[in-house]
Copies of this chain bind each other. A is one copy, B any other.
Amino acid sequence: MPEDGHSYEAAGVSIERGDRAAALMRSAVEATHGPEVVGGTGGFAGLYALSGMEDPVLASTMDGVGTKTVVAREVGRYDTLGADIVNHCANDVLATGARPLLFLDYLASGRLDPEAVAVVVRGAAEVCKELGISLIGGETAEMPGMYGEGDMEIVGCCVGACERSEVVTGEEVRAGDAVIGLPSSGLHTNGYTLARKVIEDAGISYSDTPEPLECTVGEAYLEPHRAYVREIEALRETVEVRGMAHITGGGLPGNLPRSPGGLGARLDASSWEEPAVFTMIRSLGNIPEDEMRRVFNLGVGFCVVVSAADVDQALGILREMKCEAWRIGEAVGEEGVRFA
C-alpha cells in the first residue's frame, strides 16, 4: 500500500523509495536526539522523557506550509521547506510560553521522490538541532490518486512544555504596555496563494528580479520562516513577557488578539521596516492596504508585550542577539487592532 510508507520505517509498494528516503535522512534525524529520546526511531510512536518538571503543561500544534510547496516545485528547490515547517510550528508553541521540545513531520506526494523528501527532512532536522528540538517521528505518504507527481504536502506537529506558572496567557497585559515587533524574514509560510497570483497575473517569473527586490522572486518567496525560540528565551530570562503572538495567517490584526487573554492594540505602521517583497506584491497586485495587513505579516513575524518600563531593556537584549526589533505600538483597552 503505497500510501502507508513510514519515513523512518518504510513499508508497502513504495518500499524501495521509502527505504532510500529513510537511509538518506536517518543520520540527520538521529543527530537531533539527546538522552531524552527513549528507544530511537522505528517504534510505533516517538518516545520523549519529560524529566525535572513540577507541574508540566504540554503545548501542541499542527500546521502545514501551505502552497509555499508549489513555489518550491516551480523553482525546483526544496531545501528551505524543512526550516519553514519546523519554525512555523515551534513559534506557535513558543507563543504560549512553552519551550518547543519535539517535532514530527508528515510528507505526502503523488510519487515519492526520495531525494526531495530527504532534502526536506534533513532541512527540518538541521533546524531542530539548532533549536534543541528532537525530530522524533514522521510519516511519508505516497498517494497517486490525490497528489500530482511533483506535488508535496508538508505538515508538522510540534510539542513543547513548560511549568504551569510559565504559561503566557496574555491576561497580564495592561493598557499602555508596549508591543514589540520582531522582524520576519519575508512571507514566512503565509499568503502564498495571493503572492503567487500577483506574480502570475503580472507575467513575472520566479527568476525575475522586479523592483524593489534585490534578489529573484523565487529567492524572496522561498526565504525560510524565521524562528524566535532563542530570542524569546533570552528575553524571558530578564524581562517579564506579558503577551506573545506569532504573526501567521490573518496578519497582525488576526493574530495579536489570539493570545488567550485577548489583546487590543494600536499600532504605528511606520514604526517598522517592511521587507521589499511586500512592497513589490502591494504595488504589482495593486492590493488594498487592509488586505495586505490581513494576508501578510508585512515584516513583523512575532510580537511580545512588555510593560512600558521594560521596553528599552527588551529591545537591547534583542539587539544583542542580532534581532533588530521595534516598538510598534501599545496595548489598549478596546478589542481589536487599529493602525495609526
Residues of chain B within 8 A (CB-CB) of A193 are 1-3, 13, 143-145
| Secondary structure type dominating chain A contacts | mixed
Tell me whether B11 and A104 are in contact (CB under 8 A).
Answer: no
Question: Judging by beta carbons under 8 Å apart, are A141 and B12 in contact?
Answer: no
Chain B contacts for A159, CB-based, 8 A: 58, 60, 159
Most chain B CB atoms below 10 A, which of A44, A70, A136, A194? A44
Interfacial chain B residues near A196, Cβ < 8 Å: 145
> Are B98's CB and A258's CB within 8 A?
no
- In the complex, A337 has a CB within 8 A of chain B: no
> Is A169 a contact of B39 with CB atoms below 8 Å?
yes
**A258 pairs with B9, CB closer than 8 A:** yes
* Cα separation A266 to B187 with both chains bound (whole Å): 55
Contacts of A104 in B (CB 8 A): 60-62, 157
Question: From A245, which residue of chain B is reached at the shortest CB distance?
Answer: B44
Is A106 engaged at the interface, CB distance under 8 Å to the other chain? yes
Shortest C-beta distance, A160 to chain B (Å), equals: 7
B43 touches A96 (CB 8 A): yes
Complex contact B146–A58 (CB within 8 A) = no
A259-271 Cβ-contact flags toward B at 8 Å (1 or 0)? 1100000000000
Query: Can you report 10 residue pairs joining A to B where beta carbons are below 8 Å apart?
Result: A3-B67, A11-B294, A38-B167, A44-B259, A45-B98, A48-B57, A50-B58, A58-B58, A60-B136, A63-B106
Interface residues of A (CB under 8 A from B): 1-6, 9, 11-13, 38-40, 42-51, 55-64, 66-67, 69-70, 91-93, 95-96, 98, 102, 104-106, 108, 136-139, 141, 143-147, 151, 153, 155, 157-161, 164, 167, 169, 190-194, 196, 244-246, 248-250, 254, 258-260, 294-295
| New A-B contacts (19) at CB < 8 Å, excluding given A45-B61, A62-B105, A64-B108 | A4-B250, A12-B250, A12-B294, A13-B194, A39-B167, A39-B169, A44-B91, A45-B92, A45-B96, A49-B58, A50-B161, A58-B102, A67-B145, A70-B145, A143-B193, A145-B193, A146-B147, A153-B153, A159-B159
